[in-house]
Amino acid sequence: MEDSKGLWKIKYESDLFPEFGREIAASPGGENIFSCIQCGTCSGFCPLSLYMDYTPRRIIAMTRAGFKEEVLSSSMIWMCASCYGCTVECPKEIKITDVMYALKQRAIKEGVYPRRFLVPILAHSFFKSVWKHGRNTESHLIVSMYMKSNPFKMLTQSLLGMKLWLKGRMGIMTDSIRDKKSLQSLLQAVKKIQNGKAH
């Protein structure tokens, strides 16, 4: 745990969750995390590690050692842009991006992800929009994201939005597909499989 100054206190083994690493390793793509030699290639390659609270390497180490709370509440797992650079470069063939998905799912399941953090909200809104209309409408997505996180922030972005609208880069009309029913039944099936299989 970090104290108020952001410094680590000593970690007792009884505060850890020894099963956590094994559970993540059992999820799809997680099988190789115990092979990790902590070389840091993933963190070095990651274009976003600069902005992360923990680097991918550290997240893997902490996952293995059972630092469940720290890992799941970390902003890092949500920052992953899924570029798969780390997965391509990893010398031990760990599917790091897949591990991040496993951690994200676990965080959602346990409800411990950072609530005001943009990425999970964006993901939620995106999914909702696709579920409903079969398409993503960017203007709606942005508005919904800011409404749920920080409505005032929208003001600073409004000028850019206007410019994009005037140039025809962003519409206000809702995009949608014709056969929404079929898509929904398809997604429903996927959801069922996932719920049945993972956790």
Applying CB under 8 A, the residues found at the interface with other proteins are 8, 10-14, 18, 22, 34-38, 57-58, 61-62, 64-65, 67, 92
Closest to other proteins by CB, 22 or 128: 22
For 72, the enclosing helix (H) or strand (E) is helix 68-72
- The C-alpha atoms of residue 173 and residue 148 are separated, in whole angstroms, by 21
Closest to other proteins by CB, 70 or 98: 70
Shortest Cβ 187–other proteins spacing (Å): 36
- The C-alpha atoms of residue 183 and residue 133 are separated, in whole angstroms, by 9
- The C-alpha atoms of residue 54 and residue 44 are separated, in whole angstroms, by 13
Residue appearing with tokens 């952001």? 6
Closest to other proteins by CB, 67 or 78: 67
Shortest Cβ 12–other proteins spacing (Å): 5
Shortest Cβ 160–other proteins spacing (Å): 38
In this structure, the number of other CB atoms found within 10 A of the CB of residue 64 comes to: 18
Shortest Cβ 34–other proteins spacing (Å): 5
Closest to other proteins by CB, 53 or 175: 53
> From the centroid of its chain, how far is CA 136?
18
Closest to other proteins by CB, 8 or 152: 8
Using an 8 Å Cβ cutoff, are 25 and 34 in contact? Answer: yes
Closest to other proteins by CB, 22 or 132: 22
- The C-alpha atoms of residue 86 and residue 59 are separated, in whole angstroms, by 13
Shortest Cβ 55–other proteins spacing (Å): 10
For 111, the enclosing helix (H) or strand (E) is none
- The C-alpha atoms of residue 185 and residue 68 are separated, in whole angstroms, by 35
Shortest Cβ 84–other proteins spacing (Å): 23
